[in-house]
Homo-oligomer: A and B are copies of this chain.
Amino acid sequence: MQTTKQNNSVKSLPGRERVVIENVKPEIDAGRFPIKRVVGEKVLVEADVFVDGHDALACVLQYRHENSSEWAELPLEFLVNDRWRAEFTVSELGVYQYRIQGWVDHFATWRRDLRKRVEAQQDIMTDLLIGAELIERAAERADGPDAESLRDLVHNLRRRRDFSATTHLAMVDDLAPLIARYSERRFATTYERALEVLVDPVKARFSAWYEMFPRSCSPVPGQHGTFRDCEARLPRLSEMGFDVLYFPPVHPIGQTFRKGKNNALVAKPDDVGSPWAIGSEEGGHKSIHPKLGTLEDFRRLVGKAKEHGIDIALDIAFQCSPDHPYVKEHPEWFRKRPDGTIQYAENPPKKYQDIYPFDFESENWPSLWEELTSVVLFWAEQGVRIFRIDNPHTKPFRFWEYLLRRVRQACPDAIFLSEAFTRPKVRYRLTKLGFTQAYTYFAWRNTKWELTTYLTELAQTEIREHFRPNLWPNTPDILTEHLQTGERPIFGSRFVLAATLGANYGIYGPAYELFENRAREPRSEEYLNSEKYEIRDWEVDRPDSLRDLITRVNKIRRENTALQSDWSLRFHSTDNDQILCYSKHTEDFSNLIVTVVNLDSRHTQSGWVELPIHEMGLDPEKPYQMHDLLTGAHYMWHGSRNYVELNPHFLPAHILRVRRKIRAEQDFDYYM
């Protein structure tokens, strides 16, 4: 037999904490990361809570905002199989904490058992004395009238033996809620981790983004646009229903190795260069490209946009052109090659000599982190609250965790969109670390099976606790093969999909409105004459543009709460693989939207869709009205199976609001 190696001191253990709390949900990676909510949302918490033996237990959900030292408390409700549940609402931006506390409730045990003894007609005199002791201790924890009431009960239980057992029971039952308030928590178990909720503004959950190059906004063809020109676009974008206007980088652009039109290796003298080659003698990440205007112009634009309900979102691309002031001022932030030159970006054998990446393994990484953080804080000071982060997956995870926390401390209403088109686990790690929203693989999910499995993963699994998808059918980098081969109809159906599957969605606007589908070369997802390298004049007022469809869909989104979040998304079966059907609803189903999309952009498709009308609270015996919010048409549907037919050249989809009959009067039925 071995000798005892580790003589744990018994006394130091919390030996009388008998309650166990485990399997708390939601909890991400053992509490390492916060879950996410927006202001006004609920947090539904569940846990397994139990105790040895047969004693009753009490347990509560505790929560508080980070600015509060006091925990608010709610009783947990017992479900089944030792599972308990409660929910609280987050009402302020910032971080909330929640945890669970449980304890053996000797009074509840005693009361439960007393009832059984009375029912079995046993002598309860000693039991009354035991109860009196318990209540006396509760009275010691109370004061004022509460203490008084409890002491009266103690007195009655001890002295008034002439009362019947039933009378005693009634007295106890009356005061039980009061006694519960002063329950003995000396040996309470508190869940070992305080879990966190990151509370964002509502726009984190529901937003419509429009991406636009400000330099292409001049009313004079070929001329470099300005922030003033952008101001002129605001009424139109607001009418179309967008609430985020996102600009590629607005900083001075490098000259060294500048790329020409269509990514030519050598630029011509009048080529404007890529906005992502940031930095020149005119400044770096905190400067404005002189041709766009001044910082003052920018602030003015931000203010004007706000007046139209639009937030300006900036692109945060942490990389430098060789001409960036950092290169001279902080050579230690870049990697030096043995030949004395600075390491440019590479994806061997490809070389991107116009871009210097930062070296995050630099000995001077703390000053690099501080400077980059100060870049975001600088734009926050100019009124910007939404940031689209370029390629976050190529910078260290810990860096983002630090930066996001620092910026949020200053601006708890900041929103960060992660542009990480990379492997799933990397993307999820970034949103766990604090990115508010993220681009998705939506652009490449085209078939019914692809859309159903992918969106179900995002909306229905635990991923949704941290990953808020933002669905983009295109970006300046992404013109998918699917869009290239379709015409106007495919742009219509992909738009409806993005805007109804995703409460957050965005388009690279002018190109999308005009269903621009010309690629630079076969198999490329790059646009021909890409705006990344030149100024484009977009005829956005062309009569065949998608403007009207976009405007209508955005209006439908604003008017229907069901479309303003993703968690209720459910796909429904159809008997045609080209017909996709799904629904979203509010918690009480008062707003229930069924969308049916024809995935075939060339041919009319029809089929039967099947709705779970029981879950939807629809009467299988009665007809219900389907109000097509795109066309205004009304259809009467019956039961779970109904027929649909969509001609892509006329209409890409039905967006149907379900209306139930509330009364019939003479010849009219009323639906709400």
A→B interface (CB under 8 Å): 1-6, 8, 10-11, 13-18, 20, 22-23, 29-32, 48, 50, 52-54, 81-82, 104, 113, 116-117, 119-120, 122, 126, 129-130, 132-133, 187, 192, 337-339, 346-349, 360-361, 365-366, 369-370, 380-381, 393-399, 402, 405-406, 409-412, 423-426, 429
CB contact under 8 A between A81 and B424, given known A16-B361, A365-B15, A402-B10: yes
Show 29 residue pairs from A and B whose CB-CB distance is below 8 angstroms, ordered by the A residue.
Answer: A2-B411, A10-B369, A10-B402, A11-B366, A13-B398, A13-B402, A15-B396, A15-B398, A16-B365, A18-B361, A20-B429, A22-B425, A23-B425, A30-B30, A52-B395, A81-B425, A82-B423, A82-B425, A82-B426, A113-B346, A113-B348, A117-B348, A117-B349, A120-B348, A122-B349, A126-B338, A129-B338, A129-B339, A130-B337
Q: Which residues of B contact A18 (CB under 8 A)?
A: 360-361, 396-398
Do residues A52 and B394 form an inter-chain contact, with CB atoms below 8 A?
yes
Do residues A5 and B409 form an inter-chain contact, with CB atoms below 8 A?
yes
Closest chain B residue to A3, Cβ basis: B410
CB contact under 8 A between A10 and B366, given known A22-B429, A360-B16, A411-B2: yes
Q: Number of copies of this chain in the oligomer?
A: 2
Closest chain B residue to A400, Cβ basis: B52
Q: Which residues of B contact A132 (CB under 8 A)?
A: 338
CA distance in complex: A337, B423 (Å): 65
Closest chain B residue to A121, Cβ basis: B349
CA distance in complex: A411, B3 (Å): 9
Interface centre among A14, A22, A116, A339 (most CB of B within 10 A): A22
Closest chain B residue to A6, Cβ basis: B409
CA distance in complex: A466, B623 (Å): 54
| Known pairs A16-B365, A53-B395 / 13 extra A-B pairs, C-beta < 8 Å | A2-B409, A4-B409, A5-B409, A10-B366, A15-B369, A15-B396, A18-B396, A32-B192, A52-B360, A81-B423, A81-B424, A104-B361, A126-B337
CB contact under 8 A between A50 and B17, given known A8-B405, A187-B361, A370-B10: no
Do residues B397 and A348 form an inter-chain contact, with CB atoms below 8 A?
no
Closest chain B residue to A66, Cβ basis: B5
Taking the closest CB of chain B, its distance from the CB of A45, in whole angstroms, is 17
Closest chain B residue to A52, Cβ basis: B396
Taking the closest CB of chain B, its distance from the CB of A17, in whole angstroms, is 7
CA distance in complex: A349, B124 (Å): 11
Q: Which residues of B contact A2 (CB under 8 A)?
A: 409-412
Q: Which residues of B contact A366 (CB under 8 A)?
A: 10-11, 15
CA distance in complex: A1, B366 (Å): 24
